[in-house]
Amino acid sequence: MRQQQGSWRALALAGMLAAAAAQAQPQAQAQANDDSTVAPAVKAKQASEIQRGDPARWHQGDPTQQARLRTLQKEIGAAYAEAKKACGESPAAERSACLKDARATWEQDMKNAPSQLETAPQGSVQTTVQTTTPASR
């Protein structure tokens, strides 16, 4: 009987520890996204960059077809790098297949890049900013 009580206590303790760990996990994630962990010097630099706005080069189109192709290839490469990073965070059993798929997608995108430019609109990227304010009554 005494051994059975010890088993129940151990089981109850294990359940309480699991519940506590489950509650602590969302809190840890919230803390990771909290700006309070950003160094004051970094906050000041970010604030000044935000105040200046976007660099002018972000709103200038590529002047030639070759420049547009280089930009597209750079974007494809960045997407491939992100995919490889995501594959590295996946379980080991899935990692090889994930990397193979990412590589195949990169190769296909690079192969199709010139034809994508032929069908894409010419000129610079246009951005539209819409602001909404509540209607005053």
pLDDT at 57: 78
In a domain, 6, yes or no: no
The pTM is what? Answer: 0.52
Q: What's the 3-state SS for the chain?
A: CHHHHHHHHHHHHHHHHHHHHHHHHHHHHHHHCCHHHCCHHHHHHHHHHHHHCCCHHHHCCCCCHHHHHHHHHHHHHHHHHHHHHHHHCCCHHHHHHHHHHHHHHHHHHHHHHHHHHHHCCCCCCCCCCCCCCCCCC
In a domain, 57, yes or no: no
Show the domain range for 102: 66-117
In a domain, 52, yes or no: no
In a domain, 129, yes or no: no
Which sign does the torsion angle of CA 51, 55, 61, 67 carry?
negative
Q: How confident is the model at residue 32 (pLDDT cuts 50, 70, 90)?
A: low
In a domain, 105, yes or no: yes
Mean pLDDT of 105-129: 75
Q: How confident is the model at residue 18 (pLDDT cuts 50, 70, 90)?
A: low
Question: How many domains in the chain?
Answer: 1
Task: Quick: pLDDT tens for 64-93.
Answer: 889 999 999 999 999 999 999 999 999 999
